[in-house]
């Protein structure tokens, strides 16, 4: 993968807008992303990222672009994502012992992707740790703990799609089985195929969240079918079998659950956890067997 930032001729500085949150008046480098500029500390960037360090070591021509007298470098990232990334590198609270609980899962995914791209190993480890706690399940106990965390974070189907995409981009296959499972269990067929949106706190809607790879959408759809067959076979008696064209162009016979009456997999998980809390062994054994079957069903997702 090419980790070098892409540079573009600097536009007319009159069209650039200084960031209102990441601008240090004594900063030594201005980073431009889209039409937003961020004034930060060159030394911190170089120390944190070998990619930035190598960039700053390149000889600069006499007519190198500047912004208000400070050297300017243009980066091919979105302004929103670069702002989050630069804040993570410049603010001490994102350090090794810092608190990142205020970050959303989408924020963590952005930071994981950019920290890998710019080789900021410490930040990558820090922001992927909570994702591993939720999605890296190899035992029933880890899975149930992950489900509890997912509920506490109020994660939804869009978040699970985000993790599938992140796992593919950042070589984190251990996150895929649980991410695929939760996506299949919480999303309807149309959402799996076409994507989903969420309502933001501002009242606006997010951009459409879709699988990066259409093959992953098809995998999720097939796994959803397996969940129906494996864990609630009687439901198939109530569902029409619809002939539909798969994303790869092949014809699939897939029972299509109604998203409004989808099987309550989350309820099964809560039953398992409640049973463990109350030490109700028969119910816990039943739920544990169910979870083991689920993990086995989705473990293959991590390999391809």
Q: Residue ranges per domain, the chain?
A: 13-127, 136-238+265-303
pLDDT score for 292? 58
- pLDDT at site 78: 95
Do the beta carbons of residue 158 and residue 206 sit within 8 Å? yes
Q: What is the tens place of the pLDDT at every residue in 149-196?
A: 888 888 889 999 999 999 999 999 889 888 888 888 888 888 999 999
Q: d(Cα 252, Cα 117) in Å, to the nearest integer? A: 38
The confidence score (pLDDT) of residue 297 equals 59
Q: Say if CB 231 and CB 272 are below 8 A apart.
A: no
CA within 13 Å, CB half, 139: 3
State the residue for tokens 């994102």: 94
Q: Is 142 exposed, middle or buried (0-12, 13-18, 19+ CB in 10 A)?
A: middle
What average pLDDT does the chain have? 75
pLDDT band at 253 (very low <50, low <70, confident <90, very high): very low
Residues 95-142 have pLDDT tens digits of 555 566 778 899 999 999 999 999 999 999 999 998 998 998 777 778
- Output the CATH code of domain 13-127: 3.30.710.10
Residue 250 to residues 195, 215, 242, 243, 254: CA-CA distances in angstroms? 20, 12, 14, 11, 12
* The pLDDT of residue 211: 96
pTM attached to this predicted model: 0.74
- The Cα 133–Cα 143 span in angstroms is 9
**H-type helices in 79-156, by residue range?**
79-90, 105-117, 121-135, 140-152
Nearest CA among 137, 171, 161 for reference residue 210 = 161
CB-based contact 37:18 (threshold 8 Å):
yes
Non-local (6+) Cβ contacts of 210 within 8 A are: 161, 194, 195, 217
What pLDDT is stored for residue 117 in this prediction? 95
| 206 compared with 21, residue with greater pLDDT | 21
Helix (H, G, I), strand (E, B) or coil at 199: strand
């Amino acid at each position: 993968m090419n980790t070098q930032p892409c540079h573009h001729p600097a536009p007319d500085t009159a069209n650039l807008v200084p960031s209102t949150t990441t601008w240090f008046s004594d900063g030594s480098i201005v980073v431009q992303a889209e039409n937003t500029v961020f004034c930060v500390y060159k030394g911190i960037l170089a120390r944190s990222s070998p990619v930035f360090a190598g960039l700053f070591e390149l000889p600069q021509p006499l007519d190198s672009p500047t912004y208000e007298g400070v050297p300017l470098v243009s980066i091919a990232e979105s302004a929103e994502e670069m702002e989050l990334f630069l804040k993570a590198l410049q603010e001490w609270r994102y350090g090794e012992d810092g608190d990142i609980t205020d970050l959303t899962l989408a924020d963590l995914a952005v930071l994981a992707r950019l920290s890998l791209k710019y080789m900021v190993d410490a930040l990558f480890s820090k922001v992927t740790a909570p994702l591993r706690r939720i999605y890296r399940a190899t035992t029933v106990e880890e899975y149930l703990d992950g489900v509890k965390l997912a509920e506490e974070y109020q994660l939804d189907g869009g978040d699970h799609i985000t993790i599938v995409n992140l796992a593919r981009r950042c070589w984190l296959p251990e996150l895929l089985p649980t991410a695929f499972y939760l996506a299949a269990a919480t999303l309807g067929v149309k959402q799996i195929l076409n994507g989903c949106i969420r309502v933001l706190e501002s009242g606006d809607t997010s951009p459409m969240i879709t699988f990066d790879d259409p093959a992953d959408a098809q995998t999720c759809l097939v796994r959803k079918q397996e969940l129906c067959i494996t864990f609630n076979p009687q439901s198939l008696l109530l569902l029409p079998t619809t002939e539909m064209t798969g994303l790869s162009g092949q014809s699939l016979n897939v029972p299509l659950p109604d998203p409004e009456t989808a099987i309550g997999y989350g309820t099964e998980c809560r039953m398992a956890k409640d049973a463990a809390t109350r030490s109700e062994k028969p119910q816990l054994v039943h739920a544990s067997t169910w979870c083991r079957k689920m993990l086995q069903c989705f473990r293959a997702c991590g390999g391809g």
